[in-house]
Structure 1
Amino acid sequence: MSVTEMADSVLSRVEDGVAWITLNRPDRLNAFAGDMRDRLHDAIDRAASSAEVRVMVITGAGRGFGTGADVEVMSDLLGRGDDATFERLVQSGMWVIRRLRSVEQPVIAAVNGPAAGAGAALALACDFRVASARASIGLTFNRIGLHPDWGATYTLPRLVGPGRAAELVLTGRMVDAEEAARIGLFERVVPADQFEEAVRALAAELAAKPPMALRFAKQSLGASLHADLDAMLNAERERQMACFRSADAKEGITAFNEKRTPVFRGE
């Protein structure tokens, strides 16, 4: 793959407070190759560091969300016995997930088509998933003799429970959109012809909300996986007081009393 092709392998743009990050190897169902993992990490990092960005959307170009590692690349590494390069690729995936899980903005996975292996794990690491009715998802790692990575063994049991997670990982099966919604992998499923419009509407809705309130809520929900009730009650109090003192809370309460739509400025 040429340098030019890899330069376009992850696209990123910001529109109206929304960072759109797109895996862009549609001819390979957005399978990861070359430095694509690093480019994804950098796109997430730039969006996370921008005061302009209130929401991120991660999606795939063409008919797939992402199918994980490019098997042709894996075959080449295996043939050359290149363990060192393979380990660097695994570490690059770790860095993507660590950065993704640390960002303050809400992150939507817009699952437009098949999400398999690392592509599925990437979707699971987002805050929630909106899927096309044509989408599917699967932890397919063992189909090629590999172990789940990209944080899948952390995120999956927390979404569907340990028993269901074991069944999905050990069978490696693909799950269609209807079942994925039923078992908690997808939060919303949208008809394919309405998918892009629905994602845009949801992103715009979140971008219009008070950033501090969303940021603190996201932090609290993440902490609740590990903290006890007293810790969460104290965190809620501290974050609630910070929100109460913000200009956005004043705007929200004033707009409610004046029966108008609030305009939140992140202050």
Structure 2
Amino acid sequence: MTSPDSVHDLVLDKDGVRLTVEDTVATVTLTNPAKRNAQSPALWRALTHAGRSLPGTVRVVVLRGEGKSFSAGLDRQAFTPEGFDGEPSFLDLARGSDAELDAAIAEYQEAFTWWRRSDLVTIAAVRGHAIGAGFQLALACDLRVVAPDVQFAMRETSLGLVPDLAGTHPLVSLVGYARALEICATGRSVHAEEAERIGLANLVVPEAELDDAVRDLASALLAAPRDAVIETKALLQGAAERSYDQQLIAERAAQARRLRDLAGLGD
């Protein structure tokens, strides 16, 4: 992709997150390569802000990390007694009420949920480490294009925790329950070849070609009319929860809307 500094409009640049927009494509970049784009509550709030700041013209969002790693996961400073400056530590959160703890986690999750909006198609460009929260952020996107050095891993269980940043549902949807359990419970790394084989990665390309491959994919996604893509995404997202007959009904309703729109009879 073209450098964000050259032709993209800068919308947001704070707390390790940069949002740039060029016409119908937005790029969200994690910008702390010195810490392998480790994540924090401030970064999560910036990601949430990025989602809320997208212009209505945006159809495709690309997520990438600066440097050698996409994101090595949660910054371990979160587990120290002092935590982050101006933030309650995770230990402090654990001492709060059930309602306070639930609300805090729900706020964190918001940074990971907007990527699945039906009016957007989101692509994660992943190289190097995508560990824990980094893995879940890649899973938040609709599609993943990866470099050969990618390492996906869900390490939360080794810390006595669970994956809680909206990653369990897409992981099971992509690879099935048994494989998802094995990946999460062992904390092992999933490398590029396996990731593509089991459905975690849509495409594996040489590292030098990663940005170009994502750009080409974005262009292909933009070729179809926006409303047709929105309807198709909604159909596919709901397919697992519907019976076969219910999906047929949903397909008919969606197609009727498209036909009426094409005939100039839509609302």
TM-score (norm 1): 0.83
Match of 1:211 among 205, 226, 243: 226
Return the alpha-carbon distance in structure 2 between the equivalents of residues 115 and 230 of structure 1: 38
Specify the SS of the correspondent of 1:224: helix
**Contact 1:77–1:83 under 8 Å retained in 2:** no
Partner of 1:256: none
The code of the aligned residue for 2:122 comes to: V
Query: Are 1:188 and 2:203 an aligned pair?
Result: yes
Partner of 1:264: none
Instruction: Sort the Cα spacing of 1:216 and 1:46 in 2 relative to 1 into closer, same or farther, 3 A.
Output: same
Partner of 2:65: 60
Shift of 1:30: 0.9
Partner of 1:10: 17
Query: Are 1:246 and 2:261 an aligned pair?
Result: yes
**Contact 2:31–2:65 under 8 Å retained in 1:** yes
CA RMSD of aligned residues (A): 2.4
The code of the aligned residue for 1:205 comes to: A
**Contact 2:133–2:165 under 8 Å retained in 1:** yes
Instruction: Sort the Cα spacing of 1:98 and 1:194 in 2 relative to 1 into closer, same or farther, 3 A.
Output: closer
Return the alpha-carbon distance in structure 1 between the equivalents of residues 118 and 247 of structure 2: 20
Identity %: 37
Specify the SS of the correspondent of 1:150: coil
The code of the aligned residue for 1:191 comes to: P
Return the alpha-carbon distance in structure 2 between the equivalents of residues 77 and 170 of structure 1: 29
Shift of 1:176: 1.0
Match of 1:51 among 40, 49, 56: 56
Partner of 2:124: 109
Specify the SS of the correspondent of 2:80: helix
Which runs of no fewer than 5 residues in structure 1 stay unpaired? Answer: 1-5, 251-266
Specify the SS of the correspondent of 1:82: helix
Partner of 1:122: 137
**Contact 1:138–1:168 under 8 Å retained in 2:** yes
Partner of 1:261: none
Match of 1:82 among 92, 95, 101: 92
Instruction: Sort the Cα spacing of 1:154 and 1:80 in 2 relative to 1 into closer, same or farther, 3 A.
Output: closer
Shift of 1:80: 8.4
Shift of 1:34: 4.4
Return the alpha-carbon distance in structure 1 between the equivalents of residues 171 and 129 of structure 2: 17
Which runs of no fewer than 5 residues in structure 2 stay unpaired? Answer: 1-12, 84-88
Partner of 1:161: 176
Deviations 1:240-267 (A, max 9, x none): 12222335x89xxxxxxxxxxxxxxxx9
Specify the SS of the correspondent of 2:134: helix
Return the alpha-carbon distance in structure 2 between the equivalents of residues 77 and 229 of structure 1: 52
Specify the SS of the correspondent of 2:230: helix
The code of the aligned residue for 1:216 comes to: E
Partner of 1:38: 45
Specify the SS of the correspondent of 1:22: strand
Return the alpha-carbon distance in structure 2 between the equivalents of residues 207 and 89 of structure 1: 36
More helix by share: 1
Instruction: Sort the Cα spacing of 1:209 and 1:70 in 2 relative to 1 into closer, same or farther, 3 A.
Output: same
TM-score (norm 2): 0.83
**Contact 1:140–1:174 under 8 Å retained in 2:** no
Instruction: Sort the Cα spacing of 1:81 and 1:150 in 2 relative to 1 into closer, same or farther, 3 A.
Output: closer
The 5-angstrom pairing of residues 131-142 of structure 1 reads 131-142=146-157
Specify the SS of the correspondent of 2:144: strand
Instruction: Sort the Cα spacing of 1:80 and 1:32 in 2 relative to 1 into closer, same or farther, 3 A.
Output: closer
Deviations 1:29-56 (A, max 9, x none): 1111241101101112222xx2210111
Query: Are 1:72 and 2:77 an aligned pair?
Result: yes
Specify the SS of the correspondent of 2:146: strand
Partner of 2:3: none
Return the alpha-carbon distance in structure 2 between the equivalents of residues 230 and 181 of structure 1: 31
Instruction: Sort the Cα spacing of 1:242 and 1:81 in 2 relative to 1 into closer, same or farther, 3 A.
Output: closer
